[in-house]
Amino acid sequence: MGTGPEVVTCGEAMLLMLAEPGVPLDRAEHFRRSIAGAESNVASGLARLGHRTRWLGRVGADPAGEAVLRQLRADGVDVSWAGVDPHAPTGLLLRDSHPQRGIDVQYYRAGSAASRLAPEHIRPEQLAGARVLHLSGITPMLSESAAEAVWRLVELARSAGIAISFDPNVRLKLGTPHEWMHSAGPLLREADLVLAGEDELELLLGGGADECARALLELGRTSAVVIKRRDHSATAVSEGGSWDQRAFAVRITDPVGAGDAFAAGWLSGWLRGEGPQRALAEAACVAALAVQTAADTDGLPTADVRDRALHAFLEGGDPVQR
């Protein structure tokens, strides 16, 4: 076992204030504190599954920033290269939680420390020894300098032979469809591993999702595309074929964070050399455990919990409760 990270992620981590379950955001009086952020969620998920992970990004020199870094450290994520910006605040996210209606999410991120990420904050040694660099489309949408930092990471990963994993994570509150096509579309084409929603592939590349997946494979850079379907099933496509995985039936408490949990589960399987079918099943299992709890990361499992739950799912029973 090495001492450096297997996986490096880079992006926005925010303080999350989550309203009491089931209460609309404008009526909520009680909130609990947690953290949120696509890349930091994946880093936490992989760390709990036993992988060495590092998160790159910037937080403010404020209590929210310290809370974010403290939680990531507690999950086992290396934050030694995280920047603390004395001139900008940590981003804030307010949301409610409900299993059967749309979630109300309010972002307070304009001028945040995360948006001030820039190429000069990225160094080759931050990636030393890593096998995977995981990115999302959110970070380059935060600012021009953040987009330049992401492309600096891509260049460094390419030169070091590190696989690039990319999840578009399209959020239309951050920009128009055209802006997302301009920002995330080129990153899709640079990725070795793509994890994208059916609707995201259609938006960013045009055409049907399966057609888009085949087009990415034909470009020669991408080795695997995982399509997250609208019905919550998933398909993995590579030159070796395609594999399907249904979603496991569970009682949903909070659906937010399912995609990041799925990404952590799938990347864990890939890192351990599991075949596509097993990696998909593990991804579906991690996502199913995540949506049974509140907040983005509460339900992210350890490897032994994942394995017991997956066995129960595949046997047709209830997953093991912790």
Of 75, 85, 96, 260, catalytic? 260
- Give the integer Cα–Cα distance in Å for 295 and 260: 12
- 192 catalytic per annotation: no
Cα separation, 152 vs 138, whole angstroms: 16
Are 128 and 8 spatial neighbours (Cβ–Cβ below 8 Å)? no
3-state secondary structure of 195: strand
| 93: its two tokens | 């996210």
- Are 50 and 27 contacting, i.e. CB atoms less than 8 angstroms apart? no
CB within 8 A of 161, min separation 6: which ones?
none
Tokens of 193: 């591993």
Strands (E), 181-312: 193-197, 224-228, 234-238, 241-245
31 bridge partner residues: 19
Give, for 83, the enclosing helix (H) or strand (E). strand 83-85
List residues with catalytic annotation: 260
